[in-house]
Structure 1
Amino acid sequence: MGTIALTDVIQVAIKEGQDQGIFRNQDFDVLEAYILHLVHPKLISALRLHMPVEDISKTISAFVLKGLS
């Protein structure tokens, strides 16, 4: 069983989002770069100071999804 890279998962999510009309039609590489640079380990460390760990993934997901629409 092979390893799945984060970039592969992000590209699938972008494609599905575009197919569903949720994400704008823009180059995959550009949208992927936005997501990868927004979700930096330092962001997660900073958010841990302000919210419970359980809320971090929901917060980041909501921000990324709304930013791509």
Structure 2
Amino acid sequence: MIDISSKDDVYREATAVGRLRLRPETAKMIREGKVEKGDPLSVAEVGAMLAAKNTSQLLPLCHPIPLT
């Protein structure tokens, strides 16, 4: 790999898009906050952040770039 430690920091922004297929009853429970084990959307958001922050451990030849 190439040493990129001397490169200047650059602001970058990315937007991810996804699709879920749920039963109508499940979607209604999520919207109304009636899921017994908590908010699944918050769990998904935290999971996505953890995945993004650990990308360099999962993909070969990927530089570890700090995310905020």
Larger Rg: 2
Query: Whose relative contact order is higher, 1 or 2, with alpha carbons under 8 Å and at least 6 apart?
Result: 1
Give the TM-score of the pair, scaled to structure 1: 0.29
Whose helix proportion is higher, 1 or 2? 1
When normalised by structure 2's length, the TM-score is 0.29
